[in-house]
Structure 1
Amino acid sequence: MNKKDIEYQIAELKAEYIRLQHDLEKLEYVDGKLSPLEKQIAGIESELASLNQKLREL
């Protein structure tokens, strides 16, 4: 995986993270079930950390 691929994946994950954060805020407002979204957000955070580490190693 080259630098551009990693940067592209990071950008996609950030966009997905922002979308999920907005969805989470909406669910909090209507007292919806939050745990599935929280798990997805945690997974994205983990993946972003991994990709950022790979980017630093290049």
Structure 2
Amino acid sequence: MTKGQIEAELAELKSDYARIQGDVEKATSFGVDTSTGENKLIEIEERVAKLNQQLEQLD
């Protein structure tokens, strides 16, 4: 992966994270189960960490 590709994926993941986080907050206020959303947030956090490591290796 190139630096540009990593940065593009990071931007997309950050956008997804913000959207899902908002959905989880709304669901919580209505008492809806949020485990699926919370698991997706964890997956995104792990992917972001891996991409940041790759980005550091390129520098």
Task: Quickly name the TM-score band, shorter chain normalised.
Answer: over 0.9
- How many corresponding residue pairs? 58
Structure with larger RCO (C-alpha < 8 A, sep 6+): 1
**CA distance in structure 2 between the aligned counterparts of 1:45 and 1:15, rounded to whole angstroms:** 12
Which residue matches 2:24? 24
Which residue matches 1:11? 11
How much identity, in percent, do the aligned residues show?
Answer: 41
Return structure 1 stretches of 4+ with deviation > 2 angstroms.
none
User: Please, which runs of 5 or more residues in structure 2 have no aligned partner?
Assistant: none
1:1-24 residue CA offsets vs partner (Å, 9 max, x unmatched): 100000000000000000000000
How high is the TM-score relative to the length of structure 2?
Answer: 0.97
Instruction: Quote the offset at 1:55 in angstroms.
Output: 0.2
